[in-house]
Structure formats: structure tokens, C-alpha cells
Amino acid sequence: MIWRVKLLAIMLVCIPIKLLPDTDSLTNIINNSKGPDRINARLEYAQLAAQTDFDGALQNTRIALEESLLLDNFGLAAKSQFQIAKIFIANHNRDSAEIYLNLALPLAKTQGEFNLISEIQIELGKSCQYRGDDIHAMQYYNEAIESAEKVDNHRLLGACYSSIGNIFRVLGAHDEALASIIRAKSNYELADFEEGAAWISYTLGRLYRNLGIINEAQKSFYESLNVYTTIAEVNGDSLGIALCLEQLGMLDLEQNNLEAANTTIQRALDIYTELQSVYGISNAWKNLGKIAYALGDYAKAKVLLQQSLDYKYQMDVLGLPGIYETMGMVLLAEDQWQAGIDTLKIGVDKAASNSQHQIQYNIYGRLAHAYEDNHNLSEALKYYKLQFGLQNLIVSNPVQFKLPELRGIYEMEQNRQQIKTLNQKNQIISLELVQQQMIQWGFSVGVIFLLIFSGLIYRKNRAIRAINKENETLIVKLQQEINQRRQAEKELKESDSLRELLLDIITHDLKNPVSTIYSMSEMAFDKFPENEYLEIIYLSSAKLLEVLKNTTFLSQATFGEQIPKEKLDLAELLNGIVKEYSGYLQEVEMDLELNIPKDLTITANPLIAEVFKNYISNALKYASEGKRIVIETLREENAIVICVKDFGKTIAKADRSAIFVRQTQLDGKKGGRGLGLAIVKRIATAHDGEAWLEPNLPVGNSFCIRIPL
């Protein structure tokens, strides 16, 4: 096997070659030394020159490979083949790179070069990933983890887990993606690898962006940008800066900040162009094309998208569906209806072949809307059904839809990690036992030594030891309490983070099916406006979409994040809420008076409506005997106070604060979970306001909220 590889490698290097000019110390070593020193110098030179002097770098590595094989130094031969592969990768030729990676791998294995083996397996995994072969990519990454673990190379372990997390992120498997990213972060920290930490922040930003968590995405991208900027100041490598700028620009685009998006992504394009990064340039063109489409500059959008498309076909099949999607929308906007439909269909086929289910889902929706706008309801319904069928796979588990092997590989890796963790624990326990024995032995020697001197000194020292032992016991107990408190705080913080992410994932996954129900019911109701059942479904789905939107805001409020605010007409807001409760008010025979001045505006998030809904709902449940509800406002110097007053039984003073605490109910009345007023308090806090209860004299209660102006 070795000689077969050797023969093939020599055949590959038998081409005209030339030495590079003597320009630095490396070429001096190349010209004046022999054997492994000269080979290593060639490889080091090739690594430095890969981007700027392709021919020179390739010639030196091929010479290094031939010299290694002539010396029967298969370790250096594998290293040379790997360096040739990296030169091709740097010049966007992964097909040629794979040939040398597959030659290098068996040689490296025969030499037990586990660092090199892991690096080769990672690059083979990336090649599979670029062409959409996630199964084989995952297998290579899993093998790379095993190789890196044998030499405790945490930097390579971080790279493996990061790549695995990226596979799951693209497939929409957010739980698995997050678990892999956390492992990558831990390994990069152990390796003290600053660039790895920056990459993890970037990857987390991509995950948060996929979930629509804008604030966290921006925070992660800026964290990554700061580290990459520091790195660039040291080594001049600004690729990480461009990656972060591109994602920040896309966040601006998604929030319709088109000018800011265009400026930021143009900055990224300038860096990509300077670095001659074809992949980066094609991505920037694609995103600038999206911005041009959003701005209505369809001619410019088509030019940019076509440029990106030409590059993507050469190296990035995963980028194709998004380009076809935008190109299709451009053609539809130009009234080239059939061309737009055909282009969207190409995009959806590309997404399906890559298992990019979220993009596939989005394009189905665009096709459905296009056919609906063209009054072809049968085709519109067809694509709504396809969208509906796909969403079950997206929500349940996109990894299972990809192939069962992907999850199997992931679970195998998890099991191996559990075994490794148990072995590490056993080693730690063994070390602790040895340490305890040494401490006991040392203590015994010390006691014997003290006894030699005299009985008086011994007695004195015995008393001191007793005091010290008591102090040590107190110190140990105190330290244990401190550690327990720290651990509890850490677990609470992690629990809050996981709860927040879980809520975001659930909300994100619910939006797709609810949006489909809303779109289809809207289309059906437009066709049959007299059908009461369709009207109820349509209005209910619209309401559910609003609830999901508010859930996102409530999550942000719950975990202390800033929530977006806007000018709201208070009278209009409250009138809408009262209308929702009109049927229930009639049922319990209660009147509701709304004493709100006209043209009174507040600066708040629409989520503020939940406060008044909770207050009114409580009055209907617990104060119906009072037969009246009154909503009034009080203008203060820097705030507005809104109170919902009932005329039922007055709540005791001792209970007025308690009812705003989660899972608190008075007298166990009327079921429920005791969450409503706790939510009210958090919403008020998120608005820098205050919620409270006071008596409504002579009888009843006044539930109030203060909102700063």
C-alpha cells in the first residue's frame, strides 16, 4: 500500500520545477541544507506563499514531496501532500485538493501522526460539506475528533465541533447545533485559541439570526468583530472582520435598514476583494443583490445576482437556492411572470437536493403567493400544501429528514464523550486519593518530629493544632457554602439561558405552520367571505401570529433585555381590547367605562396590551359582583398612570404585593397558574415602569401601571 501511494505521488510531481529566488532566510535554508531541514523549509515557505505566489508555493511543496519519498520519510511525505492540498484550497480548487488529502491520509495513519490525521479529516469533511454531502462530512468530523483526542489537541477538537454545529445549524436542528457550539467553545478556551473564540461568537450569531433573535445575534457578531479586529492588528488577516460585517449587514437588511445594510456589506466586499476571497466576494454580491431588489433597483440586482451565481456554481452549491429565490422575485417584480416562476422552481429544487428545508419552505410560500396573485388558485393551493407538508419535518426534526445516519453519528460521538468523561473522573478520583495519602503521611511525619523536641512544646502545639483544626473546619464549611452559592448562581444563569433559548426555538418553529394556516385561510376567506367558519379560522390565525410575536417580546422582557418601543394611541389600544371582551362582559352582565382623553400617546411595545388584558380579565373573574369596571388615566410630570378599577371585594393590604409574584393565587379561586400579574410586573419593568394594586374606595380594587413619557 505504501509503495502504491509512493509511486502515484512521484508521478504527480514529475512536472517541470524551479527553485524560487533567494529572497529570505527560508530560501537560504532551501539552497544550503539537505534532508528534513530543507523539506520543512520548503513547506514553511509554501504555507506563507500560498495566497500570493501560487506557482512558487506549489513547486516547493511538490519538490518537498519528491524529496520526502526518496528519503522514505513518509511522515514528511504526508505533510507535503497535505500542504499541496491546502494550496489548492486557498486557490478554491477543492477537487484537486481532495486528491492530495486522500493520498496524505493513509500515509499519516501509518506514521501515527494524529495531529496531521485530524487536520486532513477536517478538510475532507469540509469538502463533503461544500458539495452538500453532510453524512460523509459528519463521519469525517467524527473521525477527526477521535484522532485529536489521542493527542489532546483542543484547537482541532474545537474546529470539529464547530463544523458539526454548522451542519446542524444549516439543517435547522438548533438543539444539536447549540450543544456542538458549546463543546467547540470549551475546547477553544482550553487551547487558549483567541481566533477560535471569535469564530464561536460568530457561529452563535448565525444561530441566533436563524432563530430571529436579533439582539443576541448582533451582540455575538460584535463580540466576534472586536476579537477579529484585534487579531487583524497583529497579523493583518482581516477575513474575520469581513465575515462579521457581512452578517451585521444582513441583520440590517432583515430589519429593513437598507442604507446601513448596503454600506456594511460593501465594506465587507472591499475586504474580500483585497484578500481575493472568491467565496466571500460571491456572498457579498448575493447579499448586495438582495438589497438592490429591496430598493427596487432590479437591473442592478440581476447583475449582482448573476455574478454571484457564476462563482457559486464553481464552489458553493449551498449558496445557489438563495440566489435563485431572489432572482425569481426580481423577475416577478419586472412582470416577467413565467421566468420568475421557473427561476423560483430551480431554487426550490436546489434547496431540496441540499436538504435546505427552511429555504425550500420559503420558496414554496413565494410560489404560492405568486400563483395566488395571478389568480391561479389551484396551483397556489398545491404549493401551500407542499409548504404544509414540509413544515412538519422542519418542526419535528430536520436531522431525521436528512438521513438517520446523521443522528446516529452524532449519538456515537456523544457516547464516546460520556465514556471519556467517566475515565477522566476515575483519574481525578485516583489522583485525589494519592494526594490525600501524601497529606496524611506528611502530617504524621510532622507530628512525630514535634514529639521529639519536648512534651511541653508538644502540648502547646497540640492545642494550636486543635484550634487550627476547628478553624480549618470553619473555613472548609465557609468555602463549601461559597462554592454552593456560586454553583447555584451559575446553574440559575444557565437555566435562564436555556429557558430563553428553548422559548425562542419553540416560537420560531411555531411561526411556520401558523403562517401557513393564516395564508391559506386568508385566501379561502377572500374567495368565500360569507363563510363564518373560514372567518373564525382566519381571524384566529391572525391573532395567533400576534401572540407569537408578543411571546418573543415577552421573552426579552422576562430575561431583562431591551424591547423595541413605538408611539401608541392609548385610546385606540384600549378600545380594541374592550371590543375583545365585549361578549364576556355581556355574559356576566358587567359594564366597562373607558375614561381616556383623545390623542393621548404612550411610548411602549404593543406587548403593553397584555397588562390591560390581565387587569380586565381579573376584574371579570373575581369582581363580577361589582357589576362595573372603570379605566382611567392620571397625568404625572414625567409619566402616565393607567388604572383598571373594579367594585368587588377589596383585596387585603397584606396580599397586594404577593399577587404580583409568580404562582400566587388568593384563596385558590378560579383555577389558573398564577402567572398573569407576574407577567404584568415584568412587562412594566421592561418599560422602566411600575405595576401595583391599591384599594378603590369605598369598595373594590384599582390595578395600576405607570409608564414613563
H-run or E-run covering 667: none
Using the CB atoms, write b or e for 133-161: b if 16+ within 10 Å: bbebbbbbbbbbbebbbeeebbbbbbbbb
How far apart CA 349 and CA 372 sit, in angstroms, is: 21
Q: Could you write out the DSSP letters of every residue in 426-458?
A: HHHHHHHHHHHHHHHHHHHHHHHHHHHH-HHHH
Asked if 320 and 313 touch (Cβ cutoff 8 Å), the reply is yes
pLDDT over 70, % of the chain: 74
Query: Reduced to 3 states, what is the DSSP secondary structure of residue 671?
Result: coil
How far apart CA 163 and CA 183 sit, in angstroms, is: 11
* Angle (nearest 5°) at CA 52 between 50 and 57: 40
The pLDDT value given to residue 492: 52
Nearest to 155 by CA among 115, 201, 128, 127: 115
Residue 454: CB atoms within 10 Å? 10
Beta carbons within 8 Å of 470's beta carbon, 6+ residues apart: none
Name, of 151-155, 194-198, 349-353, the range with top average pLDDT.
151-155
How far apart CA 615 and CA 619 sit, in angstroms, is: 6
How far apart CA 59 and CA 550 sit, in angstroms, is: 61
* Angle (nearest 5°) at CA 644 between 640 and 646: 155
Nearest to 569 by CA among 596, 547, 592, 601: 601
Main-chain phi, psi angles of 330, to 5 degrees: -65, -45
Predicted confidence band of residue 7 (pLDDT cuts 50, 70, 90) = very low
The per-residue pLDDT for range 631-645, each reduced to its tens digit, is 999 988 889 999 999
What is the arrangement of strands in the sheet containing 591-595, beginning at the earlier edge strand?
591-595, 628-635, 639-646, 701-708, 690-695
- Residue that is written with C-alpha cell 476547628 in the block: 470
Strand partners, 347: none
Q: Say how many residues make up the chain.
A: 709
Residue 693 is which amino acid? L
Predicted confidence band of residue 71 (pLDDT cuts 50, 70, 90) = confident
User: Over the chain, what is the mean pLDDT?
Assistant: 78
Nearest to 689 by CA among 629, 607, 616: 607
The pLDDT value given to residue 252: 92
How far apart CA 605 and CA 685 sit, in angstroms, is: 12
The per-residue pLDDT for range 481-524, each reduced to its tens digit, is 666 766 665 555 555 555 555 555 555 566 667 777 777 778 77
What does the DSSP 8-state code read for residue 319? G
Predicted confidence band of residue 224 (pLDDT cuts 50, 70, 90) = very high
Predicted confidence band of residue 542 (pLDDT cuts 50, 70, 90) = confident
Burial class of residue 415, CB neighbours in 10 A (0-12, 13-18, 19+): exposed
Q: Counting runs of H as helices and runs of E as strands, what totals does the chain give?
A: 28, 7
The pLDDT value given to residue 125: 92
Asked if 384 and 407 touch (Cβ cutoff 8 Å), the reply is no
Beta-strand relationship, 591-595 and 628-635: parallel
How far apart CA 628 and CA 700 sit, in angstroms, is: 10
Asked if 30 and 38 touch (Cβ cutoff 8 Å), the reply is yes
The pLDDT value given to residue 503: 57
Packing angle between helix 74-90 and helix 114-130, nearest 10 degrees? 30
Interval 535-556 mean pLDDT:
70
How far apart CA 451 and CA 456 sit, in angstroms, is: 9
Helix, strand, coil percent content, the chain, rounded in steps of 5: 75, 5, 15
The per-residue pLDDT for range 300-326, each reduced to its tens digit, is 999 999 999 887 766 667 788 999 999
Burial class of residue 176, CB neighbours in 10 A (0-12, 13-18, 19+): buried
Cα-based distances in Å from 445 to 432, 440, 459: 20, 9, 17
Nearest to 538 by CA among 555, 518, 523, 554: 518
Packing angle between helix 357-373 and helix 377-396, nearest 10 degrees? 160
Work out the end-to-end distance of the chain between its first and last CA atoms, rounded to an integer number of angstroms: 79
The pLDDT value given to residue 346: 94
Grid cell in block for residue 497: 439561558
Asked if 504 and 555 touch (Cβ cutoff 8 Å), the reply is yes
Nearest to 259 by CA among 249, 269, 268: 249
Asked if 659 and 693 touch (Cβ cutoff 8 Å), the reply is yes
The pLDDT value given to residue 184: 87
Q: How many CA atoms lie within 13 A of 359 on its CB side?
A: 25
How far apart CA 46 and CA 52 sit, in angstroms, is: 10
Query: Reduced to 3 states, what is the DSSP secondary structure of residue 97?
Result: helix
The pLDDT value given to residue 507: 59
Nearest to 683 by CA among 672, 675, 691: 691
pTM, full prediction: 0.57
